[in-house]
Amino acid sequence: MSIERKLLAHFLNAAHGGSDPSYCRLGKDLEEMNVELNPEIETKKNILGELSVRLSSYEAQSSVEPYYAEDGDALFPFLQDIVDNRKVLDDCKTDAIEVHLWEEVEASTGTYKAYKESCIVEVSSYGGDTSGYQIPFSIHYLGDRIEGTFDLKTKTFTPAA
């Protein structure tokens, strides 16, 4: 069975520091969104002609482009605050959740297998053309990925036991 792309859901926490999480689903204007893993690979060939490959880490990131600003979208104030105040470091830190909508945990509960990870949001530009105000951004994942479940109705993440 092929899995439709819409069943891999990406959520970004748009809440400002200390607030209750406010997860927004990404994808409304996106025709494509990938998590680029950017693996750190080291290859060596020894004197016997044998090749060894060592994969030591990942520097995962995603690009969200376009993102059209919409009044009432919870993600818009978060991104606009980064733009207006030229936020850096931990002021751009939040968390992202990847939800596998093809892996329902309990039948008919709306709870699915998910992975949560801290991330930095990098706004690359803002403005756009006559199609609307755009704030394209990248998500840089920090590597503290944990497994759990995500409830679509309440938009809450629960870490696995």
Q: What is the DSSP letter of 4?
A: P
pTM, full prediction: 0.91
What DSSP string describes 14-83? ---TTSPP-EEE--TT-S---EE--EEEEEEE-TTS-EEEEEEEE--EEEE---B--TT-THHHHHHHHH
Taking only the tens place, the pLDDT of each residue in 10-25 is 999 999 655 689 999 9
**Percent of the chain at pLDDT exceeding 70:** 97
Taking only the tens place, the pLDDT of each residue in 27-80 is 999 999 999 999 999 999 999 999 999 999 999 999 999 999 999 999 999 999
DSSP SS3 for 138: strand
CATH code for residues 5-159: 2.40.30
Taking only the tens place, the pLDDT of each residue in 97-122 is 999 999 988 767 889 999 999 999 99
Alpha helices in the chain (DSSP H): 75-85
Show me where the domains of the chain are located: 5-159
Residue 112: CB atoms within 10 A of its CB come to: 19
Nearest to 125, CA basis, from 117, 116, 113, 136 = 136
